[in-house]
Structure 1
């Protein structure tokens, strides 16, 4: 399986379809505020994995009931529930997929195809059950579960091996040792300006707003973009840094995500000023 997945990651032949589909999603998924809702910015982490639980849970439960006598009606209700819930899960997944890197999109494309096949089989299963062909309905449902399970496996590979949807900056925290670390002389920090520094060789972004100073990890939570090369904008009265790579925005006061595609906050270090020197430590 490792060899198969590696070949899938390197399958550049998928890029022509992937690039066209990405452009189509970017054109059709509405304004940025709508896409931020679909990304899960309001939730604090990606929305897609949360919505996936409903169809997966309903379909697995239906598979169990299909093995038990007298449970046709309950199994049909669960198949219908899972099939209906798969649509919002698919929409949020497509929205997230369009903001991934090319290698991630290759795996994500096959993930989506597998899940689409599973959804089509479950739709056929539901139609068969509603017309009294419960044997065919069960058979189609088990085929659908197999396809959806394959899609789920690829989804796990996307998240755990390729890091899609996870906070890319947090692992940098493990490279910072315990205790307070000097960052810069406070007097040398200009106000309302992005300043690049390091803590234990980990890049950080320093921003001074009068007496308040923020020390934030400098690599974007979404795809490790360089926030120290970003721009400062105002969002709902808060100064935010915008990543130059994909446009994710984070409040400079506390790292809260203000705009996607990032769905998780940017990690901020604890800071203090001692003898005119700005110091930082792990949160």
Structure 2
């Protein structure tokens, strides 16, 4: 068994915990109902930043808590700096948890493994935060060995939870741009009869291995990658109004002219392809620089 074997076994076991499905589905529905598409959803998703907001926010939480433990070992005797860092970590954990919950709720329907792992990840974070809160309470009268021990215990739990969170992102692909590794054909590729691309609505086609959604805007054919950059849903199942196409799953909206995000929760621009009509057929290719 390799050095990573025990960790892989742990994640596999968590992902097979079917007993987590019912509470996970219920929680996911509640979160999606409470945080629907709009300004709050965009803020929690990081649409305004052009990047998911949850990962950098976790750095603030982790850095504050770990910094407190470091100061416990090497800092001044009065312990005020450690207390301030614990307070910062606890306060910043609230918006961090909200952004993570919003991201998870958009993903748990599509992957039961993410649903189960996300619940364990969240439960571990609650335990870690409880330990840090107890650590802060133990320091009210000044430096405390119990407070330091509780903070170290919190760091241990937080580290394990961070591993599970990394698994959700890097192994299961939650929160990453779903089109990052599929930009489309570099050469003009025939995809569909021009008559099938109507003025109203969308058409679906394959450009080699790349799924494409096509339509018409002011008489001109547009083409975008069909897999939504947010969670991979088919944009061809959505609606087009004027210059905006709306994802049917989570409500992200993109400008068909350049793929710009008009409304989240998507954070990454939707890939746009050049399109032309030739001999009654539509051809597409990766958008060329300067277009």
* TM-score computed with the length of structure 1 as normaliser: 0.87
Distance 2:179 2:116 in 1: 23
Matched, 1:51 2:57: yes
Say which of 113, 134, 158 aligns to 1:148.
158
Partner residue, 1:215:
223
Say which of 77, 83, 86 aligns to 1:76.
83
Structure-2 change in CA distance of 1:274 and 1:24 (3 Å):
closer
Deviation larger for 49-58 or 212-221: 212-221
Structure-2 change in CA distance of 1:103 and 1:258 (3 Å):
farther
Partner residue, 2:286:
282
Structure-2 change in CA distance of 1:210 and 1:161 (3 Å):
same
Structure-2 change in CA distance of 1:105 and 1:259 (3 Å):
farther
State the shift of 1:212 in Å.
4.1
Partner residue, 2:203:
195
Say which of 20, 26, 42 aligns to 2:26.
20
Contact kept in structure 2, 1:99 and 1:261, CA below 8 Å: no
Deviations 1:202-222 (A, max 9, x none): 111122213543221111223
Partner residue, 2:130:
120
Deviations 1:25-71 (A, max 9, x none): 23434663322221122222221112111111112222222221426
Contact kept in structure 1, 2:32 and 2:106, CA below 8 Å: no
Cα RMSD over matched residues?
2.4
State the shift of 1:153 in Å.
0.5
Partner residue, 1:95:
102
Partner residue, 1:167:
177
Secondary structure of 1:95's aligned partner:
helix
Distance 1:268 1:143 in 2: 49
Contact kept in structure 2, 1:184 and 1:277, CA below 8 Å: yes
State the shift of 1:271 in Å.
4.5
Deviation larger for 78-87 or 181-190: 181-190
State the shift of 1:85 in Å.
0.8
Deviations 1:97-149 (A, max 9, x none): 11112321211111111111111111111111222252111111111111111
Secondary structure of 2:115's aligned partner:
helix
Say which of 112, 134, 142 aligns to 1:132.
142
Partner residue, 1:246:
250
Number of equivalent positions: 277
The runs of 5 or more residues in structure 2 that have no matched partner are 1-6
* TM-score computed with the length of structure 2 as normaliser: 0.85
Distance 1:259 1:110 in 2: 30
Distance 2:70 2:257 in 1: 50
Distance 1:31 1:264 in 2: 16
Contact kept in structure 2, 1:214 and 1:254, CA below 8 Å: no
State the shift of 1:272 in Å.
5.4
Deviation larger for 242-251 or 100-109: 242-251
Matched, 1:228 2:236: yes
Distance 1:185 1:20 in 2: 44
